[in-house]
Chain A
Amino acid sequence: MTTLADYFTLGAILFAIAVVGLFLNRKNLLVLLMCIELMLVAVNLNLVAIAHFTGDLLGQVFVFFILTVAASEVAIGLGLIVALYRTRRSVEVEDINTLQG
């Protein structure tokens, strides 16, 4: 029998792996974007689990909206990466230093 805690634990593990991935692959913009996707989907898992265990569909509606926003975020993010690659010939985060950040 699975409990809500099991799903929360799995979501936490996925989220933590994605956080480690952000630190490890901090040079590769594409993998950074993928790690963000992984974080979002880990949170989605939590929301769906809550929806199931409380018997309230609100969690699933929330996941629906998060998926929408995540899809548009990926479209914009990849557009930015392609535009960046055209001018810099690279997708390394360290090359993006025009603003001296």
Chain B
Amino acid sequence: MERLFFDLFGAASVVAALGVVLARNTMYSVLWLIFCFFNLAGLFVLLDAEFLGIILILVYVGAVMVLFMFVVMMLEVDVASLREGFLRYLPLGGALALALLVEMVLAARAGLFAKHAEHLGREVNNTAEIGKLLYTKYLLGFEIAAVILLVALVGAIVLVIRARKDAKYQNIARQVRVRKEDRLQKVRLP
């Protein structure tokens, strides 16, 4: 049964990855990537990592890919010119990827790795276990991750914010500091 689901999710994720790479329209790439993430979340759950599976769906599909979608829809992209010379670097890239793939598969199949592992019982709470580790042993890393997220938040806002030049702004400090002499002028009428 487990093997069946591994084959199902694995085959679907490979097809989805090919879809990401080969799709003609960028929007279809985004949708294929979402499908790929769903399948990988299934694999995560198959590997007793329920928390990460849910996080993958919530954070990746729910936030990151939606952000991708917004950007793809917002930008007016000329698909035809982007597809120009699509296959030009296929020999180089294909050879490189094939070499990588053969190396990694040979290393994986060398028989050095564990063959079998029992699944954890129903009483084991994956989220609680990860939480315990994160808040004790890896607390520093956890806080650094929080700071990284904050920096990314501020950085993303700074990158895209655009102060409008034609809008009228109030400068409160100047308004408060203004004196009567700055505005009022006495003129003697004849």
Residue contact B148 to A69, C-beta cutoff 8 Å: yes
Residue contact B37 to A31, C-beta cutoff 8 Å: no
Query: How far does the Cβ of B38 sit from chain A's closest Cβ, in whole Å?
Result: 11
* 8 Å CB interface, A75-101 against B: 75-76, 78-83, 85-86, 90-92
- Residues of A contacting B160 with CB < 8 Å? 79, 82-83
Please report the C-alpha to C-alpha distance between residue A23 and residue B93 in the assembled complex, in whole angstroms.
5
Please report the C-alpha to C-alpha distance between residue A7 and residue B44 in the assembled complex, in whole angstroms.
11
Residue contact A52 to B145, C-beta cutoff 8 Å: no
- Residues of A contacting B13 with CB < 8 Å? 10, 14
Query: How far does the Cβ of A8 sit from chain B's closest Cβ, in whole Å?
Result: 3
Residue contact A57 to B133, C-beta cutoff 8 Å: yes
Q: Which of B78, B96, B156 contacts A79 (CB 8 A)?
A: B156
Please report the C-alpha to C-alpha distance between residue A44 and residue B6 in the assembled complex, in whole angstroms.
16
Q: Which of A38, A76, A91 contacts B155 (CB 8 A)?
A: A76
Q: Which of A15, A75, A85 contacts B75 (CB 8 A)?
A: A85
Residue contact A26 to B89, C-beta cutoff 8 Å: yes
Q: A residues engaging B (CB < 8 A)?
A: 1-28, 30-31, 33-35, 37-38, 41, 44-45, 48-49, 51-55, 57-58, 60-61, 63-65, 67-76, 78-83, 85-86, 90-92
